[in-house]
A = this chain, B = another copy of it.
Amino acid sequence: MIIILKENANTRQVENLTNWLKQRGFDLHMSVGSTQSLIGLIGDTSKLDIDLLTSLDVVDTVRRIQEPYKSANRKFHPADTVIDVAGKAKIGGGNFMMIAGPCSVETHDQIISVAQSVKASGAHVLRGGAFKPRTSPYSFQGLHGKGIDLLEEAREASGLPIITEIMDINHLPLFENVDIIQVGARNMQNFELLKELGQTKKPILLKRGLANTIEELLMSAEYIMAGGNENVSLCERAIRTVETAPRNTLDLSAIPVLHKHTHLPVVIDPSHATGINELVAPMALAAVAAGADGLIIEVHNDPPHALCDGKQSLTPEQFDDLAKKIRAILPYGFRKEEWA
Contacts and interface: CB of A to CB of B under 8 A. Distances in A.
Interface in A1-49: 2, 4, 16-17, 20, 27, 29, 31-34, 36, 38, 40, 42, 46-49
Contacts of A245: 213-215, 253-254, 257
A107 interface: no
B274 A282 contact: no
A255 interface: yes
A135 B189 contact: yes
Given A140-B52, A190-B190, A289-B285, A279 B253 contact: yes
Interface stretch (A91-99, A112-120, A152-160, A326-334): A326-334
Contacts of A170: 169-170, 192
A283 B256 contact: yes
B55 A311 contact: yes
Nearest to A20: B307
A289 B291 CA distance: 12
Contacts of A254: 243, 245
A239 interface: yes
A336 B13 CA distance: 27
Interface in A205-248: 209-216, 219, 222-223, 226, 239-246
Contacts of A190: 167, 186-187, 190
A122 interface: no
Contact of A54 (B4, B193, B290, B311): B311
Contact of A252 (B2, B135, B244, B286): B286
A14 to B, nearest CB: 12
A107 to B, nearest CB: 16
Interface residues of A, number: 110
A88 interface: no
A139 B115 CA distance: 43
Interface string A289-324: 111000000000000010111111100000000000
A51 to B, nearest CB: 7
Contact of A49 (B138, B213, B339): B138
A253 B273 contact: yes
A103 B53 CA distance: 15
A4 to B, nearest CB: 6
20 contacts: A4-B65, A20-B307, A29-B33, A38-B40, A49-B138, A56-B309, A60-B65, A63-B63, A167-B192, A168-B169, A169-B169, A169-B170, A186-B189, A239-B243, A245-B254, A252-B283, A256-B282, A283-B290, A285-B332, A286-B289
Interface of A: 2, 4, 16-17, 20, 27, 29, 31-34, 36, 38, 40, 42, 46-52, 54-57, 60, 63, 65, 68-69, 133-140, 167-170, 186-187, 189-193, 195, 209-216, 219, 222-223, 226, 239-246, 249-257, 260, 273-274, 278-279, 281-283, 285-291, 305, 307-313, 325, 328-329, 332-334, 339
The 3 closest A-B pairs by CB, nearest first: A211-B211, A289-B289, A168-B192
